Amino acid sequence: MSGVKLTKDVFGEIKDSKTRQIKTVSRFTWTNANKVSVQVINYGGYITSIKVPDKNGKIDDITIGFKDIESYLKPENRYFGATIGRVANRIGKAKMEIDGIVYGLAANNGENHLHGGVVGFDKVIWDATMKGTKLTLSYHSADLEENYPGDLITNVTFELTNESEFIIDYKAVTTKICPVNMTNHSYFNLAGNGTGAEELYKHIVCINADKITEVVEAIPTGKLTSVLGTAFDLRVPTELGQVINKVPNAPGFDHNFCISKGSKQDNAFLASVYHPGSERVMEVYSNQPGVQFYTGNFLPKEDVLKGKDGFIKKHGALCLETQKYPDSVHHDNFPTTIIYPGEQYHHSVIFKFFVKT
């Protein structure tokens, strides 16, 4: 594709979690004519950097992350930019029944299962293939890995376009009935990733959703509740600082929004974020029915977690994780996450970046 370049270099070396052998972690960098650049590594499928010009042409990195591979291996890493799977978000009580069989899962979030388990897709080395300006990361998740049934073959393709759209396309097939619900867990701050909560509160957020999944202690009850008249009504662009402290029973947003309208096949508008100071805009489009809006509520309050540009702190960035609804395996009224042998899981998401004019 004219105007877009994709290059590869070495990000570091790690010991593979399966083979225990030392393996090289590769970094892939896209650049386009609009001076937008994106970096992805094949460890965990992490987006490690997204750099975008502001209204004056000043380029800032707008995602949280680290400068070296060693930092991504530490437990302090909160999935900063990771590819999440097999199942993103939470599964209540860390168990599920599939085709009459009960599977116990890792309880790695209190008594619940989170983001694929102890060694989810964010903690493995993916095979990488470059073709033109597209990068495809491939991973074979073996039957009963993290106690999920079936051999799952997953391909995640990344691409930056001339129009400054960063496209992620997930596909997977299985040998047994199993749940699949992948996402990307990037944290965004359009003012620049080191600017913190002060600038994040100035962001104008819009989410195309008239309902959320009601939760009790982060686990859905199965009920969908209207956003009307609540802090969750972000259908009209709203300054984050005006509503983040009005979220009931929570220190900010960490909720699944049920997307209004849009087909299952086409990438519908999900959300937009605008930072007035820089005039940067990010729009999100996807074929998924939900998006988890998270405002970094559980990041440290103090200067203890060093990122690539300053300290990573509470409310310093936000996430828009496209997905099917959390804990869908326990709620028949939710969009199903179950795929069968012979079927293909397909999830597409577009992050579009531009300056408001």
Q: Which residues are catalytic?
A: 185, 321
Question: Radius of gyration (Cα) for the chain, nearest Å?
Answer: 19
Q: Say whether 90 counts as a known binding-site residue.
A: yes
Owner of token pair 């790695």: 108
Amino acid identity, residue 313? K
- Structure tokens given for 46: 């992490």
SS (H, E, C) 163-187: CCEEEEEEEEEECCCEECECEECCC
Contact 324, 338 (CB under 8 A): no
Q: Say whether 263 counts as a known binding-site residue.
A: no
Say if strands 178-179 and 183-184 run parallel, antiparallel, or are unpaired.
unpaired
Q: Say whether 208 counts as a known binding-site residue.
A: no
Nearest to 319 by CA among 151, 119, 78, 137: 78
Q: How many helices (H) and strands (E) does the chain have?
A: 3, 29
Q: Say whether 89 counts as a known binding-site residue.
A: yes
- Give Cα 41 distance to the centre of its chain: 15
- Structure tokens given for 321: 């994780």
Q: Say whether 266 counts as a known binding-site residue.
A: no
**β-bridge partners, 138:** 127, 155
d(CA 327, CA 274): 30
Q: Say whether 274 counts as a known binding-site residue.
A: no
Q: 337 φ, ψ to 5°?
A: -105, 0
Q: State the binding site for beta-D-galactose.
A: 89-90, 185-187, 254
